[in-house]
């Protein structure tokens, strides 16, 4: 990064914020908050995406293990969210800064109106010189609690706001070229193309590219770099890690920005949403989707795999099984099976005129570059 980034998004995970007693570790919050204030004082605007509400609530409620019951998880988030934001504000008070709590869900990025509304609000908060502290709205969310640790959310926020840099703080030093515990394992200082990681052996708890932890971080890096920002994955425990990353010093693993910028919402669909099913299309549909940028119509559908509802993210593959796109379907799997291969007129007769439209609208479609899908489900 030749110039100091104008806007920085910092993401910190639950494991980095939770103390050995299960409570929110305020000393960690303090170290991070002071760093953000320094970055802000040096001229960069800052947005923080912070996990920790569930773990903070667990501590306050006397729970020693993460609950499996959804309602109890959501209750922990409700109790812990106030603890989390108060901890940050206590630190920012020392610097004359205000924290602005923002709770988001997947729907805030998929729906166009809510996406634009969230972006306007965040931009206004930055104009008011606050530090937005963003978290998933775990109190009402569903899928987020099941698999998310805010990596994807941070990537979409960074892409939405055209951030120059996303700093992802973890409990490992970066992406390794071998399991971190293995003798000789080293951090990869720079990764220009995340696809090259498919040929690199990396492993270990929390740092295996194929596992939930590092896999989501690498996918998130791909979202941000594809939309024009750089990404650094580094250890939250490293002294002054955020300050050094913003200054361009070597900390962790750097994913440099790519020259071409893509639409954030489509990137979210392509890399961040969980796949609920697959739709096989014929060669003509592949041509229409990838070359002409059209919507997917029922006539091009050959087969449907999975049991999904309308609005789900589905992977679209050609007759050769190669994934060419992902998108949000307007129809449930059972309805799509009923009209697969039929013309629009025939589909109307089968389901009713008011229910037939595109299977996937082009505005809700992400086409993989060179027909190459991201490895693994997000």
pLDDT in tens, 266-291: 777 777 677 899 999 999 999 999 98
Tell whether 244 is covered by a domain. yes
Higher confidence at residue 376 or residue 244?
Answer: 244
- Out of 195-199, 259-263, 302-306, 328-332, the most confident range is 302-306
**Which residues share a beta bridge with 165?**
8, 230
Q: Which two tokens stand for residue 138?
A: 């775990």
Rounded to an integer, the average pLDDT of 131-149 is 68
Total number of domains in the chain: 2
- Condensed to tens digits (0 to 9), the pLDDT of residues 255-269 reads 999 876 566 667 777
Mean pLDDT (the chain) is 84
Together in a domain, 285 and 158: no
Q: Is the pLDDT assigned to residue 330 strictly greater than 70?
A: yes
Q: Is the domain of 31 the same as that of 164?
A: yes
From 230, 246, 267, give the residue that closes a domain: 267
Whether 1 is covered by a domain: the verdict is no
Domain enclosing residue 302, as ranges = 274-371
CATH code, domain carrying 167: 3.40.1160.10
Q: Domain boundary at 267, 294, 313, which?
A: 267
- pLDDT at 153 (0 to 100): 87
pLDDT surpassing 90 at residue 32:
yes
pLDDT tops 50 at residue 378: no
More confident residue, 268 or 362: 362
> Which pLDDT does position 149 carry in this prediction?
61
Q: Please tell me the predicted confidence (pLDDT) of residue 179.
A: 72
When comparing pLDDT for 356 and 211, which is higher?
A: 356
Boundary of a domain, candidates 267, 295, 314: 267
CA distances 32 to 39, 120, 261, Å, are 11, 26, 30
Residues 82 and 218 reside in one and the same domain: yes
Q: Are residues 216 and 321 in the same domain?
A: no
pTM of this structure: 0.79
**Within-domain flag for 46:** yes
Q: Is 299 found in the same domain as 235?
A: no
226, 237 in Cβ contact below 8 A?
no
230-249 pLDDT, tens digit each: 999 999 999 999 999 999 99
pLDDT at 370: 55
What average pLDDT does range 71-86 have in this prediction?
Answer: 91
């Amino acid at each position: 990064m030749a110039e100091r980034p104008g806007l920085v998004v910092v993401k910190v995970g639950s494991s980095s914020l939770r103390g050995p007693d299960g409570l929110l570790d305020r000393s960690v919050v303090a170290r991070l908050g002071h760093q953000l204030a320094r970055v802000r004082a040096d001229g960069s605007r800052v947005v923080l995406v912070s996990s920790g509400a569930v773990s903070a609530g667990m501590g306050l409620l006397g729970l020693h293990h993460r609950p499996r019951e959804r309602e109890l998880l959501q209750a922990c988030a409700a109790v812990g969210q106030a603890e989390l934001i108060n901890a940050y504000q206590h630190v920012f008070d020392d610097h004359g800064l205000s924290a602005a709590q923002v709770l988001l869900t997947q729907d805030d990025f998929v729906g166009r109106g809510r996406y634009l509304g969230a972006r306007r609000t965040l931009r206004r908060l930055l104009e008011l010189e606050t530090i937005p502290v963003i978290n998933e709205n775990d109190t009402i969310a569903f899928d987020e609690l099941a698999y998310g640790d805010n990596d994807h959310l941070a990537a979409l926020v960074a892409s939405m706001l055209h951030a120059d840099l996303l700093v992802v703080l973890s409990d490992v030093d970066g992406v390794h070229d071998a399991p971190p515990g293995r003798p000789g394992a080293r951090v990869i200082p720079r990764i220009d193309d995340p696809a090259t990681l498919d040929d690199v052996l990396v492993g270990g708890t929390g740092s295996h590219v194929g596992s939930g932890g590092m896999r989501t971080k690498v996918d998130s890096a791909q979202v941000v770099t594809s939309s024009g920002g750089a990404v650094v994955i580094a250890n939250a425990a490293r002294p002054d890690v955020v300050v050094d990353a913003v200054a361009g010093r070597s900390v962790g693993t750097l994913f440099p920005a790519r020259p071409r910028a893509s639409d954030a919402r489509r990137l979210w669909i392509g890399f961040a949403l969980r796949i609920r099913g697959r739709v096989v299309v014929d060669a003509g549909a592949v041509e229409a989707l990838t070359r002409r940028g059209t919507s997917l119509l029922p006539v091009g559908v050959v087969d449907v795999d999975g049991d999904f509802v309308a609005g789900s993210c589905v992977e679209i593959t050609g007759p050769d099984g190669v994934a060419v796109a992902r998108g949000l379907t307007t129809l449930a799997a059972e309805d799509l099976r009923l009209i697969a291969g039929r013309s629009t007129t025939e589909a109307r007769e089968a389901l009713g005129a008011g229910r037939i439209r595109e299977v996937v609208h082009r505005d809700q479609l992400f086409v993989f570059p060179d027909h190459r899908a991201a490895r693994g489900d997000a």
